Amino acid sequence: MISNFDKQLKNIHPTVKSIRDLLSFKVARFSALNQRLGGSLIKELFDLSLNDWRILGLVAAEKKLAFKTLQSILYMDKGQLSRSVKFLVKRGYIFTELKKDDARAVDLIITSRGKKLNNEILHFSTNRNELAVSCLTKQECEAFLATLKKVTDHSEKILDKM
């Protein structure tokens, strides 16, 4: 079956001889490496999973974030997200508040304890980021991040059309 997307292809990607050549495989492998390298340290040092840290970090960045918005940013299963949110609430890092305009919807709000922990993990993660990109020049890093954003934005547009 040929989709509308297939008709727009421009043969930009280098020749694919095996799964190892696919962009999706390379990104998934990089993500798995990143999770393995950072996940165990985040758990050991801060007693949070990577998902917990991502949720805490996003709520801290926004101060107040709708559960549904968070779910769409992370592309996370609602049940898994709910469990992580409950864990963070129980630890006193965030609290929930019913939205005034829709009692079925919930906002997540960072606490002072959550801000403090977020700042510690952000500092740690910034150093880990520097280590991860230490093989690149500043220009290569900026180009890589810009390219990653461009491909991510494009993938989101494709997903929205499906």
Is 144 a member of any domain? yes
User: Which residue shows structure tokens 């101060």?
Assistant: 63
Predicted pLDDT at 2: 46
Task: Please identify every stretch of the chain with a pLDDT value under 70, giving residue numbers as ranges.
Answer: 1-8
Provide the 10 A C-beta neighbour count for residue 43.
14
pLDDT at 8: 65
**CATH number of the CATH domain containing 123:** 1.10.10.10
On whether residue 5 sits in a domain, the answer given is no
Per the domain annotation, does 29 fall within a domain?
A: yes
Specify if 16 maps to a domain: no
Q: In residues, how long is the chain?
A: 162
Q: Is residue 147 a part of any domain in this protein? A: yes
Number of domains composing the chain: 1
Q: Give the pLDDT confidence score for residue 102 in this predicted structure.
A: 77
Find the domain containing 115 and state its range: 21-161
Residue 116 lies in a domain: yes
CA-CA distance, 31 to 13, in Å (whole number)?
20
Query: Residue 65 pairs with which residues in a beta bridge?
Result: 108
What single letter denotes the amino acid at residue 129? N
Residue 1 is assigned to a structural domain of this protein: no
- Model confidence over 1-41: pLDDT tens digits? 445 556 567 788 888 899 999 999 999 999 999 888 888 89
